[in-house]
Structures are given as C-alpha cells and as structure tokens.
Amino acid sequence: MQHTVRLVVPEAQMSQVAVETTKRAVASGGIRLGVLDNSKGNADHLLRFIVEGVKALLPVASVLTLRKESVSLPAPDALLDQLAGGADYVISAMAD
C-alpha cells in the first residue's frame, strides 16, 4: 500500500474580493461613451466600427476617444482621469 504525502500548492489563488460596481447616473440623452485606443495597428478602425454598432443599439450622447502613446505601457493616470470624468462606459484593450 502506498502512502500519501501533503504537497504545497504552488499556484496563487485568484482574488475572491467582491467588487461593487459603480451606479452610473446615465443622463436621459444617452450614454457618454469612452474609447481607449491602445495604438495598435487598425485598433482605431475596429473601435470606430464598434462605436457605430453601439450607436445603432443605444442612445449615445457623446463619444470621447483617447489614444495611448504606447501600446505596451499602461495608460497614464491623466488619460484615465479624463475618461473617468467624460464617459459612462469605456471600450478598451483592442489589438490587431
């Protein structure tokens, strides 16, 4: 009969923290849509198609499109603050 042995699990467990989503006060004129272009080739074209698709489905009051300078680095805080202040929803993380 073979013995058993206790092994240490080497894997980090996924975070189980519950996050409360922000209540968005969307104005009656429609959503303020934000777009974060990651600057990959063709991301701008794809995002434009997505925005058109959203507009066909939902009332959109405004579209705020911003572009990261580097695809490989995080968006700077100032850019994220601009999106947070000017958009109810943001489409991001597109790549070619």
Partner 1 sequence: MANLAQLLNQPGASIEATDDFDTINRLIWDKGWGDGLPIVPPTEARVAAMLEYCDRPWNEPIAKVPPRWGEATPLLLAANAVMAGCEPRYFPLLMLAIEAMCEEPLNLYGVQATTHLCAPLVIVNGPIVQELNINGGHNAFGPGFQANATIGRAIRLSLLNIGGAIPGLGDMSTFGSPAKYSYVVAENEVASPWAPLHVERGFTATTSAVTVIGAECPHNINDHESLTPEGILMTIAGSMGVAGCNDIYYKAQPLVIMGPEHAQTVAAGFTKAEAKRFLQQHATVLVRQFSQENVDRRIRVTFKDRLANPKPDDVVYVVREPEDLLIAVVGGAGKHSAFVPTFGATLPVTRALKTANGELARSVEDFRRR
User: Contact positions toward partner 1, by CB under 8 A?
Assistant: 2-15, 41, 70-74
| CB 49, min distance to partner 1, A | 20
Any idea which residue has 């073979």 for tokens?
Answer: 2
Report the distance separating Cα 20 and Cα 25, nearest Å: 15
| CB 56, min distance to partner 1, A | 30
Report the distance separating Cα 11 and Cα 50, nearest Å: 37
**Residue closer to partner 1, measured from CB, 52 or 96:** 96
**Residue closer to partner 1, measured from CB, 6 or 23:** 6
**Residue closer to partner 1, measured from CB, 46 or 54:** 46
Candidates 63, 58, 68; CA nearest to 87 is 63
| CB 51, min distance to partner 1, A | 22
* CA contacts within 13 A on the Cβ side of 90: 20
